Amino acid sequence: MPYGYYQLVRFIGFAGFVFLGINSKNLGKENLSFVYFILALLFQPFFKIAFGREVWNIIDLAVAVFLVISIIKTKNKNKLLKLNKR
């Protein structure tokens, strides 16, 4: 892929993690907010963090697994809240 693609992905990742960090902070989830802000710094597009391709592949996979688990936990928590409101 061209370098511009990776720059775009880094910018979108940075913006997304900042949004998730702010949202988590507003919900009082300080630890999760901290993780999102660290990920925003890791994926920020302004200063390149030079890891090898293999290291970035591992980081990308770990972040993807973390995000999937986070989504599943949030969905399950929302289902429980809906059931408790009935």
The verdict on 23 and 62 lying in the same domain is no
pLDDT confidence tier of residue 70, bands split at 50, 70 and 90: confident
The verdict on 35 and 56 lying in the same domain is no
The verdict on 1 and 42 lying in the same domain is yes
The verdict on 59 and 42 lying in the same domain is no
The verdict on 30 and 43 lying in the same domain is yes
Looking at the structure of the chain, the number of domains it has is 2
The verdict on 39 and 2 lying in the same domain is yes
6-58 pLDDT per residue, tens = 889 889 999 999 999 999 899 888 888 999 999 999 988 888 888 888 998 99
**Residue 43 is part of which domain span?**
1-49
Q: In sequence order, which residues have a C-beta less than 8 Å from that of residue 41 and are 6 or more positions away?
A: none
The predicted model scores a pTM of 0.79
pLDDT at 79: 65
pLDDT confidence tier of residue 78, bands split at 50, 70 and 90: low
The verdict on 34 and 65 lying in the same domain is no
Q: In sequence order, which residues have a C-beta less than 8 Å from that of residue 20 and are 6 or more positions away?
A: 36
